[in-house]
Structure 1
């Protein structure tokens, strides 16, 4: 009696049936190349097969009805259910399709004990009842979602018309936001989906800029002091003073949820986006300072005018 084929083998056989000019070794070599390109730990073998199928312009389907861990998500999977905690959530935004028709999109980052994953909520799901009441650390279950690839080849959960998101108060072994948080002195290069805490060093300024598409934008800029008293520059793109308390202490404790690190002109920096969430404790009064910026190209050195 032959052994049962794994899901990977089934998908590989599916590719070979549709593309008989390739050998099994050819596809396995492409799997290795995809994983090396994306980076170790970021792409599973099955996920690599779905990317290869896209390159070869063929279709693979996979259905996962059982609840899975975030690290086990495969690109192309359907009817996926996951249990996780909320890391951050963005406002809903309206965009236009190529034909001019509008659509709504809200993004969210979720995590479990092994991984973090981006979630996209489309159209009416972007405004699900109670979605704006979700807080970092809330335990949720996403039901009957589907998984696609983002621009970097990583799995992204998509919540469409047949999907649901339920908040649950059940006990869970998934660690809390507090357990996920690191001090700003602990950050390293090229980290993503971080929760970082520290103390505000000085004031907070709001930048107003024009991007390369000629669109106006805003960003919050501050410095964060860690437990070792080292100071790190912080830029939160797409944020403005409206998210701040009316009074902000110069040495207030702050938590940034959903940020990444990158190396800038002044060393290692912390960057966020419109989905980044900010928690600030009180303290000595210091009003935020607004600084107007003539133009900023995020890939070039900032050029400012007061």
Structure 2
């Protein structure tokens, strides 16, 4: 056996020996006698090994005859075309999307292979593909020279008719998903390598299994203006990509986003505010206890930026959230229940922790007010025990799990007459019945921490918030007691101490 045969025997390739031997002879001739048969054979073997793609992500335009394994995720229709030679038969092509755990790629099957694909190929099959990569109209594609099913191989990619967020995996294509719109972004533009202008926008949608960012490209980017948070949409023909370690569902020229009449539940999984640490990227949720005006500033490049701070509280603690860019325009009011996702925990003012909501973050205002159990009661309109006259919770604690109700709380709910309520007051300290009997304009005394200065001042005692009308100069975080008449949910403070 000669040296060329020895090198070929050690090579795992689909190239026939005669073709390999001819390539070696060409290499010897190209190098003008500077390489013998063994050296030329090793060079050709090295070139062939370079074209072996371990994963689809390894494929690049310009590589020669790559070989890879992938699972069929979609099969297109056969299209016909006229060849340059007028006497030649009509050409046929069928595009097939294949994927592995690293990504997906479109494979173009020509003529007889296209016909065979239409008749024999099925979604979910695993194929061994050999072909030439190139940059196609919709990105990287491989023009197939040879395609063979491999029944023994396994590729870890799910193929479903309808996906949930938790079903998404890198490389999936032709994805149909129904979700609730949580947040929308404005359209952004960018310059492509060829000098043309691209356009992109994002939606964030969620379902009962999680949430995902939807990336809308070019003409589809305008769809972001058609939807608002809380609506349900169906994404069609999306494809999954990865960005900064997170999966995204992309919508290109073939994809669709349509409004549908369907109720989708989204239950956020948030981190307790008391548990967040500097450097983390987390999801937090709670009731808004402080809102600041929007501020503008000049960036280093001369453009104008904007930011707005709000403070959010859950049952474990509170934290300031900085809303940057378009998020500063979100309509967020006191006592709104809000979930902020993908916020970065940073070192804030006076060594206090701060959550930064940037372009990757989402801001979802949930139904109902914090502390109103969904009834829309404004802070300060409840009685002194943190409950509305009908017994519903109205303090910030209502955002979290309701605490066990004692006998005192049940008095206001029970529908008992005034005498019975008075007896309960005597037995339990008087708080519940006194609250039930309070009328608009009564003088009350309330002690709490200043969580918002200005007009109005807002106090929080850990169970409820109160709006305060006062000319007193107060500081955030200061604990005070106010006394005065409460009208329309606002205490008109006569004494502040």
Query: How high is the TM-score relative to the length of structure 2?
Result: 0.39
Give the Cα–Cα distance (whole angstroms) in 2 for the partners of residues 137 and 195 of structure 1.
19
- Segments of 5+ residues of structure 1 without an aligned counterpart are 1-15, 29-44, 52-56, 289-306
Count of residues in Structure 1 that have an aligned counterpart in Structure 2: 238
Q: Measured at CA, do residues 269 and 20 of structure 1 come closer, stay the same or move farther in structure 2, by a change above 3 Å?
A: farther
Contact 1:107-1:120 at 8 Å conserved across structures? yes
Q: Measured at CA, do residues 17 and 216 of structure 1 come closer, stay the same or move farther in structure 2, by a change above 3 Å?
A: farther
Give the Cα–Cα distance (whole angstroms) in 2 for the partners of residues 224 and 171 of structure 1.
27
Contact 2:268-2:339 at 8 Å conserved across structures? no
Report SS of the residue matched to 1:127: helix
Contact 2:158-2:167 at 8 Å conserved across structures? no
Contact 2:229-2:364 at 8 Å conserved across structures? no
Residue 72 of structure 1 pairs with residue 156 of structure 2: no
Structure ID, larger Rg: 2
Deviation above 6 Å: which 4+ runs of structure 1? Answer: 16-20, 57-63, 280-285
Residue 165 of structure 1 pairs with residue 257 of structure 2: yes
Q: Which residue of 2 aligns with 1:264?
A: 347
Residue 155 of structure 1 pairs with residue 258 of structure 2: no
Deviation of the 1:156 alpha carbon: 1.6
Contact 1:87-1:110 at 8 Å conserved across structures? yes
Q: Which residue of 2 aligns with 1:301?
A: none
Residue 110 of structure 1 pairs with residue 195 of structure 2: no
Deviation of the 1:63 alpha carbon: 9.3
Residue 253 of structure 1 pairs with residue 336 of structure 2: yes
Report SS of the residue matched to 2:221: helix
Q: Which of the numbers 137, 141, 144 marks the counterpart of 2:237?
A: 144
Deviation of the 1:145 alpha carbon: 1.2
Residue 236 of structure 1 pairs with residue 323 of structure 2: yes
Alignment of 1:9-28 (within 5 A): none
Alignment of 1:185-264 (within 5 A): 185=273, 188-189=276-277, 190-192=280-282, 194=283, 196-201=285-290, 203-211=292-300, 213=301, 215-228=303-316, 230-239=317-326, 242-244=329-331, 252-264=335-347
Give the Cα–Cα distance (whole angstroms) in 2 for the partners of residues 232 and 195 of structure 1.
10
Q: Which residue of 2 aligns with 1:8?
A: none
Report SS of the residue matched to 1:147: strand
Contact 2:206-2:212 at 8 Å conserved across structures? yes
Residue 47 of structure 1 pairs with residue 101 of structure 2: yes
Contact 2:327-2:363 at 8 Å conserved across structures? no
Contact 1:83-1:141 at 8 Å conserved across structures? yes
Give the Cα–Cα distance (whole angstroms) in 2 for the partners of residues 244 and 112 of structure 1.
23
Deviation of the 1:97 alpha carbon: 2.2
Alignment of 1:281-292 (within 5 A): none
Deviation of the 1:171 alpha carbon: 4.7
Report SS of the residue matched to 1:78: coil
Deviation of the 1:196 alpha carbon: 1.9
Contact 2:288-2:310 at 8 Å conserved across structures? no
- Segments of 5+ residues of structure 2 without an aligned counterpart are 1-12, 16-46, 56-98, 106-131, 134-139, 143-156, 370-377, 381-452, 457-497
Q: Measured at CA, do residues 118 and 202 of structure 1 come closer, stay the same or move farther in structure 2, by a change above 3 Å?
A: closer
Residue 123 of structure 1 pairs with residue 218 of structure 2: yes
Q: Measured at CA, do residues 49 and 106 of structure 1 come closer, stay the same or move farther in structure 2, by a change above 3 Å?
A: closer
Deviation of the 1:184 alpha carbon: 6.4
Give the Cα–Cα distance (whole angstroms) in 2 for the partners of residues 231 and 208 of structure 1.
26
Deviation of the 1:137 alpha carbon: 3.8
Query: How high is the TM-score relative to the length of structure 1?
Result: 0.59
Deviation of the 1:168 alpha carbon: 1.9
Deviation of the 1:50 alpha carbon: 6.4
Q: Which residue of 2 aligns with 1:295?
A: none
Give the Cα–Cα distance (whole angstroms) in 2 for the partners of residues 146 and 183 of structure 1.
30
Contact 1:183-1:226 at 8 Å conserved across structures? no
RCO comparison, higher one (Cα < 8 Å, 6+): 1
Deviation of the 1:20 alpha carbon: 8.2
Q: Which moved more, 1:59-68 or 1:216-225?
A: 59-68
Deviation of the 1:191 alpha carbon: 4.0
